[in-house]
Amino acid sequence: MPINTAAADTSNGLLLSAVIIYAIAMLCYAFDFAFAKHRVLAGVHEPTGVAVPELVGASVGVPATIVGGSRPPAGMTAGQAVSRWPSGFWLRLAFALTCVGVAVHVTAIVTRGIAEDRVPWGNMYEFIAAFTCMAVLVFVAASIWYRAYYMGVFVLVPIVFGLGVDLTVLYTPAGSLVPALQSYWIAIHVTAMIVAIGLFIFGAVVTTLYLIADRSQRRVATGKPSWSAGIMRHLPGALILDRLAYRSILFGFPVWTFGVIAGAIWADHAWGRYWGLDPKETWSFITWVVYAMFLHARATAGWRGRRAGWIQLAGFVCLLFNVIGVNLFITGLHSYAGM
């Protein structure tokens, strides 16, 4: 199948545009932190002292706006609810730019797929473009559901960096797939991995902030100086961050599990064994085990909180090594990343 070069060029232009839009959005989130104090947290903390007419006296540990699940909690629907949309000029602009950026990003991926007449995740360049897109989509969804707008700058910094490296160092021109990848399983296995990685990236960013917030809270509580207290004013408490991170892993882990199973089925179709301890397989297993450790730690007294947070970050390091390190340093059956 010949490559549609016009569409491929369009895709390159769109991806570059997406990075630029993300970078501007990132600055706007930072401006919001700097100029519009606390606005970023609108709706995240329960407005204390406000009469919530229909809310039966449910005393809950966490502000109701966060714990209410995907729906706005009862108090929010009745009357002077805090909007699920961002407030303040800079935050609105930043979020609008993020949405435009992610739309352009998605379009870039779609046009790449049209150019190549296949799913556009056949090499490292395309794979990174896809999972960074997923990470931003997760952030947008988390913002709308859980008002996680405060995460904007922290999510976009690694995304802009990752896409920058992707466009410069890892760029691969549009092309066809090697026979080993010519299977409908690429659409199933790699897509699942992209979704899971997007969720894990978001989880890791939130957990990093959680660990900083937790440390800051403990230092402030014991009267010690905390360098991060200034930033922490713009972030919700450690508990909310911890829950947000946990939710993304809770969602990501089954998707990753499915991706590993789908990969095993594909490996069986392509290589004649469902599990052969190829480096990529080994590292996806290691990643799975470490995230499983995180989930178990979350359910064990004495391990939840900080320790679990560190385990989750260790899982993310394994994930990064699997995505990047294994392709760069180790030869195996998955060595078709165009490196």
Partner 1 sequence: MTAAEEDSTASPAAAAAGLSRATRFGAVGWLRWAWRQLTSMRTALILLFLLALASVPGSVLPQEGIDPAAVTQYYQSHPALAPVLNRLSLFSVFAAPWFAAIYILLFASLAGCVLPRTIRLVGSARQRPPRAPSNLARLPATASYTTDLTPGTALQSAAQLLGQRRFRLHTGDGWVSAEKGYLREVGNLLFHLALLALLFSVALGGIFGYKANRLLIVGQGFANTPTDLDVFRPGRLVGPGSLQPFSINLQNFHAQYVASGPEIDQPLSYNAGLNYQTRPGAPVRHYTLRVNHPLVVDGASVYLIGHGYAPVVKVTDGTGTVRWDGPVPFIPVDQSTMTSEGVIKVPDAKPAQLGFAGVFLPSAVNAGGTLESAFPSALNPRLSLIGFSGNLGMNSGQAQSVYQLDTQGLHQLRMVASPLAAGQSMTLPNGLGTVTYLGYQQWISLAITYDPGQLPALVSGFAALAGLILSFLVRRRRVFVRAAAAADGRTEVTLGGLARSDAAGGFEGEFTELAQMLRAQQAGTFGAGPKASQDPPGDAVEAETARAGADRHEVALTGPDGE
Q: Which of residues 38-67 bind partner 1 (CB under 8 A)?
A: 46, 51-64, 66-67
Among 276, 306, 317, 320, binds partner 1 (CB under 8 A): 276
Q: Which stretch binds partner 1 (CB under 8 A): 25-33, 107-115, 132-140, 277-285?
A: 277-285
Instruction: Let me know if 79 is exposed, middle or buried by CB neighbors in 10 A (0-12, 13-18, 19+).
Output: exposed
Say how many CA atoms lie within 13 Å of 211 toward its Cβ.
Answer: 13
Considering only residues 62-121, where is the footprint of partner 1 by CB under 8 A?
Answer: 62-64, 66-69, 71, 73-74
Say how many CA atoms lie within 13 Å of 223 toward its Cβ.
Answer: 0
What is the distance of C-alpha 334 from the center of its chain? 24
At its nearest, how many Å lie between partner 1 and the CB of residue 146? 10
Nearer to partner 1, 91 or 313 (CB): 313
* Rg (the chain; Cα; Å): 21
Angle at 128 between CA 126 and CA 130, to 5 degrees: 70
The token duo for 14 is 């769109």
> What is the distance between the alpha carbons of residues 92 and 89, in angstroms, rounded to a whole number?
5
At its nearest, how many Å lie between partner 1 and the CB of residue 118? 12
- The answer to the question of residue 320 lying near partner 1 (CB under 8 A) is no
**Alpha-carbon torsion, ordered 198, 200, 205, 210, to 10 deg:** 150
Nearer to partner 1, 166 or 214 (CB): 214
What does residue 274 show for φ and ψ, rounded to 5 degrees?
Answer: -85, -20
Nearer to partner 1, 29 or 253 (CB): 253
Nearer to partner 1, 38 or 247 (CB): 247
Q: Which stretch binds partner 1 (CB under 8 A): 25-33, 87-95, 128-136, 302-310?
A: 302-310
- The answer to the question of residue 268 lying near partner 1 (CB under 8 A) is yes
Among 293, 317, 320, 324, binds partner 1 (CB under 8 A): 293
Among 35, 161, 227, 271, binds partner 1 (CB under 8 A): 271
At its nearest, how many Å lie between partner 1 and the CB of residue 222? 16
Considering only residues 115-174, where is the footprint of partner 1 by CB under 8 A?
Answer: 173
**Alpha-carbon torsion, ordered 266, 267, 271, 273, to 10 deg:** -120
Nearer to partner 1, 51 or 169 (CB): 51
> What is the distance between the alpha carbons of residues 87 and 73, in angstroms, rounded to a whole number?
19
Nearer to partner 1, 143 or 248 (CB): 248
Among 286, 317, 320, 324, binds partner 1 (CB under 8 A): 286
Nearer to partner 1, 32 or 278 (CB): 278
Place of tokens 């790449």: 112
Number of residues that bind partner 1 (CB under 8 A): 80
Q: For residue 148, what is the DSSP state?
A: G
Among 87, 167, 175, 324, binds partner 1 (CB under 8 A): 175
- The answer to the question of residue 339 lying near partner 1 (CB under 8 A) is no
Please, which residues have CB within 8 angstroms of residue 134's CB and are 6 or more apart in sequence?
194, 195, 197, 198, 199, 201
